[in-house]
Structure 1
Amino acid sequence: MTQEIAMLHDMSRCTACRGCMVACKQWHDLPPDMDTPFEGQYQSHKDLSSRVYTLIQMKERVDDKGKFHWDFFKKNCFHCGNPACAAGCPANAIDRNPNGTVVINEDKCIGCHYCEHNCPWHIPKIDEVRHKSTKCDLCYDRIAHGYETTGEILKPSCAKTCTSHALEFGTIEEMKQLAVERLAMIQEKHPDANIYSPEGVGGTHMIYVLPEKPAVFGLPENPVTPLSIDLWKAGRAFTKLAIGGAAAGIAGAIVLSKIVKSRAKAQAKEQEKG
């Protein structure tokens, strides 16, 4: 499937039921977190992990007028148009597919943590037992299976189970348009509402409608692919070029040497005949 897809996250509609978390665990056959202690908060986990690919974060705050607010955010991979995780992977273990999904190839992954460090949101997490990087894959296998068998897009498990329509799924054009419509519906009540799909990372295929500024949800407002990635890639390219140039030079010298020796032998024979 080459059509670009996307998921809309309308956080103004999220009820924090965590059905998306359960559906994600079930689809990916992830083990339960029996060792996660209760710390007096409704949020189930501190952060994403190799056993938690999507997490409903619950943030408590009091505004300038003394009014209490409970803000919900669904944290998972953003599936960037220009993913820093893929660009910084020395093993080329992360692929950005034509449909926009960013997927880790575990057979190639060496567990180096570079993807986690380079991601502006530090989304990927290493499974310390298998030494493999893990994250949301946007249920790319479900999408591919549905398209190949019926010709229709099969929704990712989290979007399929969402009852409040906070999660919607379709083509990227459809989701961008829906984001604009949803934003218009809440702007009167939430004047700071915005669409979050940062251009600094090439836009994202996880598009968010946030009722408040990104900072309220702990998000960087204008994340970008780290400059160190570009410098590193340029360095790798130069190294390959230098090595290639050196190899070509050596090969050329060997060929030239053989030609010179061949001509010298031919001249020697001619002199003997003369």
Structure 2
Amino acid sequence: MNLTLEQALSFGQETLLASSLELSPAEAFKKARLLLAHVLKKDPSYLYGFSERVLSAQEQTLFKDLILKAIQGMPLSRILEQREFWSLPFSLNVATLDPRPDSEVILDVALNLLKGHNTSLRILDLGTGSGCLLLSLLHMLPNAEGVGVDLSFKAALCARQNAFNLDLSQRASFIQGSWTEALSGKFDLIVSNPPYIPTSEIPHLDPSVRLFDPFLALDGGIDGLDPYRNLIPKFKDLLSPKGFVLVEIGSTQSFDVEKIFQAENFQNIMCYQDIERRPRVISAYV
């Protein structure tokens, strides 16, 4: 027998509560509600007004499949293939990192350092993934345009679709490439959230990261610093005379990454903390 929306919500909540996820009743209900709304392609509020509507066989099968994925540990953002970042919706795919709130520190710092800057800006985002950093900046900076680069063609396509969805395609372009290869011209701001997890630590990451984020977006080499050693020497050739760079770092990497910037004679090197007071972003001027 096919379930009504009310019955499907109860089934989803009870199934999630009985799993090993250790959810509260409210958390289980919220997750079930979001999954059911996703199946129906409706806003979650729809479920309250049509609680007696009966699911089709196809909808019911899909909903149960999504509940199964949830109890197996797949993050909600991966099931829905969407994540809110900087209060904007971003589509995800298997080639993109799932953006975390920690990365919003880059945006906070960038907007603070650019305060009062009213002229046009050119921004580069290296390892762009879903395009969340570049597109969030363009959303806030109407005089800016930018380029996002990712080694994964599939990630670049995802970022391009997000630009279209956010009505930013006219000011954003995304290309597949290896870091700074094939780039030309100067940029006023370079942002990057490169892979910075030491290879040996990846097997010990939380399963929600280890099993569902692309290895390419996590692996920073033996000590997690390979991308910084690769990128920082190249930044100067890409930055405009008063340009600056913002890179995300692991919470124990501030000293080592600052040393790499110092060795390349960057100026005004500063480290910024995330909401948990952990080192998270380094800024440096050419």
TM-score above 0.5? no
Highest Rg: 1 or 2? 1
- Structure with the greater relative contact order (CA < 8 A, sep ≥ 6): 1 or 2? 1
Larger helix fraction of residues: 2
TM-score of the pair, normalised by structure 2: 0.24
